[in-house]
Chain A
Amino acid sequence: MEPAAFIKDFVIRRAAQDAHLVDDDVDLFGAGLLDSLGLLELISAIEQRFDVVLDLSGIDFEQVSRIGDFAALVERSARACQVDQA
Chain B
Amino acid sequence: MAQPPFPLFLRRAPSAADGHPGVGKTSPASETTCSGAALTLAERFLRSAERFPERPALVIGGKALTYAALHRRAAQIARAILDSGCARGELVGIFAQRSHTAFVGILGAVMAGCGYVPLNPSFPTARLRSMSEGVNVLITEPQALDSLDALLAAAAEPITVIGPEIERFGPLPLSLSRHRFVGADEIDTLAPLPEARRALPDDIAYLLFTSGSTGAPKGVPVLQRNVGAYLDHIAERFDLGPDDRASQTFELTFDLSVHDLFATWQAGASLCVLSSRAVFAPARFIVDHGLTVWFSVPSVAMMMARLRLLRPGAFPTLRLALFCGEALPLNTLRLWSAAAPNARVENLYGPTEATIAITGFRWAGETSTRLCRRGIVPIGMPFPGQRAELADERGGLVSGSGRGELLLAGTQVTTGYWRAPDQTASRFIRLPGCPDLQWYRTGDIVERDEEGCLHFVGRADSQIKLNGNRIELQEVDAALREATGSDLAVSVLGPSAEDGLRAIVGCIDAAITRDDAAVLRRCAELLPAYMMPARLHRVRGMPLNINGKIDRAALAQELERIACTPAEQFEDANPAPRT
Residues of chain A touching chain B, judged by Cβ–Cβ distance below 8 Å, are 14-17, 29, 32-41, 43-44, 53, 55-62, 65
Contacts and interface: CB of A to CB of B under 8 A. Distances in A.
Given A29-B277, A56-B307, A62-B278, A37 B579 contact: no
A17 B517 CA distance: 11
Contacts of A59: 281, 284
Interface string B467-504: 10000000000000000000000000000111001010
Contacts of A17: 577
B251 to A, nearest CB: 13
15 contacts: A15-B578, A16-B577, A29-B276, A29-B280, A35-B280, A35-B578, A36-B280, A37-B578, A39-B281, A41-B497, A43-B307, A56-B308, A57-B283, A58-B284, A65-B277
Given A32-B579, A56-B307, A57-B311, A62 B501 contact: no
Contacts of B514: none
B275 interface: yes
Interface of B: 275-281, 283-284, 303, 306-309, 311, 314, 467, 496-498, 501, 503, 517, 534, 574-579
B281 A14 contact: no
B309 A57 contact: yes
B189 to A, nearest CB: 35
Nearest to B311: A57
Contact residues of A: prevailing secondary structure: loop
A41 B498 CA distance: 6
Contact residues of B: prevailing secondary structure: loop
B576 to A, nearest CB: 7
Contact of B575 (A14, A44, A56): A14
B501 A37 contact: yes
B278 A35 contact: no
Contact of A36 (B283, B303, B314): B303
B517 to A, nearest CB: 7
A44 to B, nearest CB: 6
Given A16-B517, A33-B578, 5 more contacts: A16-B577, A17-B577, A35-B578, A35-B579, A37-B578
A27 to B, nearest CB: 9
Contacts of B534: 37
A26 to B, nearest CB: 14
Nearest to B279: A36
B275 A40 contact: no
B281 to A, nearest CB: 6
B280 A39 contact: yes
Contacts of B503: 37
Contact of A57 (B275, B279, B280, B314): B314
Most buried by B among A32, A37, A41: A37
Contacts of A33: 578
Nearest to B285: A60
A-B CB proximity, top 6 nearest = A36-B280, A61-B277, A32-B579, A29-B277, A41-B498, A35-B578
A39 B278 CA distance: 12
Contacts of B308: 53, 55-57
B502 to A, nearest CB: 9
A76 to B, nearest CB: 16
